Amino acid sequence: MNVLVCIKQIPDPNAPGKLDPQTKRLVREGVDLVLDPGDEHAVEAGLQIVEKDAGEVTVISMGPPKAVDAIRRALAMGAHRGILVTDTALENSDAISTARAIAAAVKGQTYDVIICGTESTDGSSGAVPAQLAEFLALPLLSFAKKLEVAQGKAVIDRQTDDGYDVVEAPLPAVVTVTGGINEARYPALRGIMQAKNKEVKQVGLSDIGLDGQAGKAALTQEVVDATPAEARKAGEIVEDKGDGAKRVADFLKELKVI
């Protein structure tokens, strides 16, 4: 079983993020960068598949050369090799440009399952996995809180507001996983040491044969404004004068909770 996992390096979500006032984009220089925590669940899902059925896990990312650190983290978890798509011409890529580049990088290679996090923690568009599936002409199974791969198909429990739906697709397929699908393993010292010697292939635009414009020249999205989140308002204290339960019920109805 050959599994490909898409990962992303992001600013540490445990630290307050900053927006560049000129570009309205997240500041990624001079801050701590980590493997997206959501992608750790995707890596874990891939590792569990190959540990059950044998095979290899390849991780792929697109970003500047320092994004190799996120790949090394996935390799320390147990992934077998990495691919970094890096090229200055890809800077400031939006979601669809990222999907095009990754699709070009893996086109012609054989993977049974491609696993992605549901959305990145920094951008939160959730668009890349579906676009990648479209570019590769593969079925997409999204929001998986459980994933089983066997007998030539992938079967997921697709998380919904009301519970879950069981959905399946023939392999190869693209699957997005939620944070509830597993408990991502923490890299052991041995894994960290082994990761230093695992293959990480770096490829640029000329290597992947991407047609058309890329990066900033191909932007289809632009952040035109950013507004600080509204400050949290003080709560209302309800003094029960015999109508407390009714006032609470009316409040919940107003919020459409009941």
Q: What is the band of 222 on the pLDDT scale with cuts at 50, 70, 90?
A: confident
Q: Which residue has the higher pLDDT, 174 or 22?
A: 174
Task: Say yes or no to pLDDT of 226 above 90.
Answer: no
Tokens of 110: 């054989």
Q: What is the band of 67 on the pLDDT scale with cuts at 50, 70, 90?
A: very high
Q: How far apart are CA 187 and CA 47, in angstroms?
A: 13
Q: What is the structure's pLDDT at 129? A: 96
Q: What is the structure's pLDDT at 228? A: 79
Mean pLDDT across 221-239: 81
Task: Say yes or no to pLDDT of 211 above 80.
Answer: no
Tokens of 244: 């407390």
Mean pLDDT across 54-72: 96
Q: Name the E strands within the chain.
A: 2-6, 9-11, 33-35, 56-62, 81-85, 113-117, 140-150, 153-159, 164-170, 173-177, 200-203
Tell me which H or E stretch contains 189: helix 189-195
Tell me which H or E stretch contains 130: helix 128-136
* List of residues 6+ apart from 76 with CB closer than 8 A: 187, 188, 191, 192, 194, 195
Q: Which residue has the higher pLDDT, 238 or 102?
A: 102
Q: What is the structure's pLDDT at 235? A: 82
* Residue 180 region by backbone torsions, left for phi larger than 0, else alpha for psi between -120 and 50, else beta: alpha
Q: What is the band of 114 on the pLDDT scale with cuts at 50, 70, 90?
A: very high
Q: What is the band of 30 on the pLDDT scale with cuts at 50, 70, 90?
A: confident
Q: What is the band of 23 on the pLDDT scale with cuts at 50, 70, 90?
A: confident
Tokens of 144: 């998986």
* Residue 198 region by backbone torsions, left for phi larger than 0, else alpha for psi between -120 and 50, else beta: beta
Mean pLDDT, all residues of the chain: 92
Neighbours of 174 (CB within 10 A): 25
Each residue of 159-184: pLDDT tens digit?
998 899 999 999 999 999 999 999 99
Task: Say yes or no to pLDDT of 135 above 90.
Answer: yes
Q: What is the structure's pLDDT at 26? A: 84
Q: What is the band of 193 on the pLDDT scale with cuts at 50, 70, 90?
A: very high
Q: What is the structure's pLDDT at 233? A: 81
